[in-house]
């Protein structure tokens, strides 16, 4: 028994820089791909970190839920839906998979929609300050339970000792009147080495004892640096998705990276002859998360 990806949706058009709009578009695209209505989603989990105008309240998940048209009817006989934010940087989507697995395996709901995405708080898109390392995009992953031995395995997580490799914050001492439109992201000089170490450690644990065939396994990872996925694949001895499997958007799409990469792989037929995918995300802490996904036969 496991939890499988029923459908995905993405949004990265440049006509908007609102992560709420991108995430809700991705959510609607995933529902359309699955041929289901919004009333059939029981839970929506948002894992995005950097949001429109540095908004804190209400939960961004509720705004995305509203924009996607999920759970907007409240009569006694209407299906019930709820949403919440779950924030853990690049690892957020895999943490959401953990939570969704518990909800689905206990029949709390039939479907969980995991949305992700980030934007510069100024909402200026490509005109955002050059030092901001994340690309504006949104992604959605629809999850369901299956009785077959497919889907996500255990999610392994790791947090290395030491100072944070990446920190994002609003600098109270210098923001002045720009607090709604400014964000500081500080990266340690050795952050690329440290997050790769964290990723290798947790990915190795996920692979140990999994019994998967490296020849038919592909790596789907976050992209904190341009060479991260290639370096990680080489250290683990499995193949990365390659050029055809890359997201169409350039740069680090942060919380949306895993879903974007999987979506691109499926739509570009990059999962052909693939029986397993190793999902690995790393960033911040330095922290990392990894899980093996056994691809359902119908999606292979």
Convert the pLDDT of each residue in 204-251 to its tens digit: 999 998 889 989 999 999 999 988 999 999 999 999 876 444 446 778
Residue 1's H or E segment, with its range, is: none
Rounded-to-integer distance, Cα 247 and Cα 256, Å: 10
> Regarding beta strands 43-46 and 82-85, do their DSSP bridges make them parallel or antiparallel, or are they unpaired?
parallel
Radius of gyration of the chain (CA): 18
Half-sphere exposure of 118 (CA within 13 A, CB side): 27
Q: Which residues pair with 115 in a beta bridge?
A: 46, 140
Domain 156-299 in this protein, CATH class: alpha beta
Q: Give me the average pLDDT of each 10-residue run along the chain (300 residues).
A: 92 94 98 95 96 90 95 75 94 97 94 97 84 93 94 93 84 78 85 93 93 92 92 93 59 94 89 92 92 80
| pLDDT at site 300 | 43
| pLDDT at site 242 | 61
Q: Which residues pair with 156 in a beta bridge?
A: 290
Burial group, residue 59, by CB count within 10 angstroms (0-12, 13-18, 19+): middle
Contact 241, 219 (CB under 8 A): yes
| pLDDT at site 178 | 76
| pLDDT at site 218 | 94
Q: What is the DSSP letter of 237?
A: T
| pLDDT at site 20 | 97
Are 2-149 and 156-299 the same fold in CATH?
yes
| pLDDT at site 291 | 97
Which residues lie closer than 8 Å to 116 by C-beta, 6 or more apart? 23, 46, 47, 48, 92, 93, 138, 139, 140, 141, 255, 256, 258, 259
Q: Where are the domains of the chain?
A: 2-149, 156-299
Three-state secondary-structure class, residue 8: strand
pTM of the model: 0.93
Joined together, the tokens standing for residue 238 give: 């499995």
Rounded-to-integer distance, Cα 140 and Cα 93, Å: 10
Instruction: Please report, for residues 96, 111, 210, 289, the alpha-carbon distance to residue 102 in angstroms, rounded to integers and kept in the order given.
Output: 10, 12, 20, 17
Residue range 2-149 in CATH 3.40.50.880: no
Rounded-to-integer distance, Cα 77 and Cα 251, Å: 45
- The distance of Cα 43 from the centroid of its chain, to the nearest Å, equals 16
Q: Which residues pair with 84 in a beta bridge?
A: 45
| pLDDT at site 35 | 97
Which residues lie closer than 8 Å to 28 by C-beta, 6 or more apart? 9, 38, 68, 69
Cβ of 237: how many Cβ atoms within 10 Å?
9
């Amino acid at each position: 028994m496991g939890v499988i990806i029923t459908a995905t949706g993405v949004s990265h058009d440049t006509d908007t820089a609102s992560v709420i709009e991108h995430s809700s578009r991705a959510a609607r695209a995933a529902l359309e791909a699955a041929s289901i209505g919004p009333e059939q989603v029981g839970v929506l989990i948002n894992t995005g970190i950097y949001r429109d105008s540095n908004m804190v309240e209400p939960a961004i998940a509720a705004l995305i839920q509203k924009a996607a048209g999920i759970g907007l009817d409240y009569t006694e006989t209407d299906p019930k839906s709820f949403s919440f934010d779950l924030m853990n940087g690049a690892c957020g989507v895999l943490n959401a998979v953990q939570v969704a697995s518990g909800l689905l395996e206990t029949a709390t709901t039939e479907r969980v929609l995991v949305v992700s995405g980030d934007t510069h708080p100024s909402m200026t898109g490509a005109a955002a300050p050059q030092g901001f390392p994340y690309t504006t995009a949104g992604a959605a992953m629809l999850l369901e339970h299956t009785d077959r031995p497919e889907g996500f395995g255990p999610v392994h997580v790791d947090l290395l000792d030491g100072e944070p490799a990446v920190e994002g914050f609003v600098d109270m001492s210098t923001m002045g009147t720009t607090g709604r439109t400014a964000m500081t992201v500080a990266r340690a000089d050795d952050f690329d080495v440290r997050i790769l170490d964290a990723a290798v450690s947790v990915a190795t644990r996920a692979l140990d004892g999994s019994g998967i065939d490296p020849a038919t396994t592909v790596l789907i990872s976050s992209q904190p640096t341009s060479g991260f996925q290639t370096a990680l694949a080489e250290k683990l001895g499995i193949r990365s998705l390659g050029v055809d499997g890359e997201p169409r958007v350039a740069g680090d799409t942060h919380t949306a990276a895993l879903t974007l990469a999987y979506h691109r792989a499926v739509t570009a037929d990059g999962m052909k002859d693939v029986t397993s995918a190793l999902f690995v995300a790393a960033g911040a802490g330095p922290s990392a998360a990894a899980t093996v996904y056994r691809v359902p036969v119908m999606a292979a």
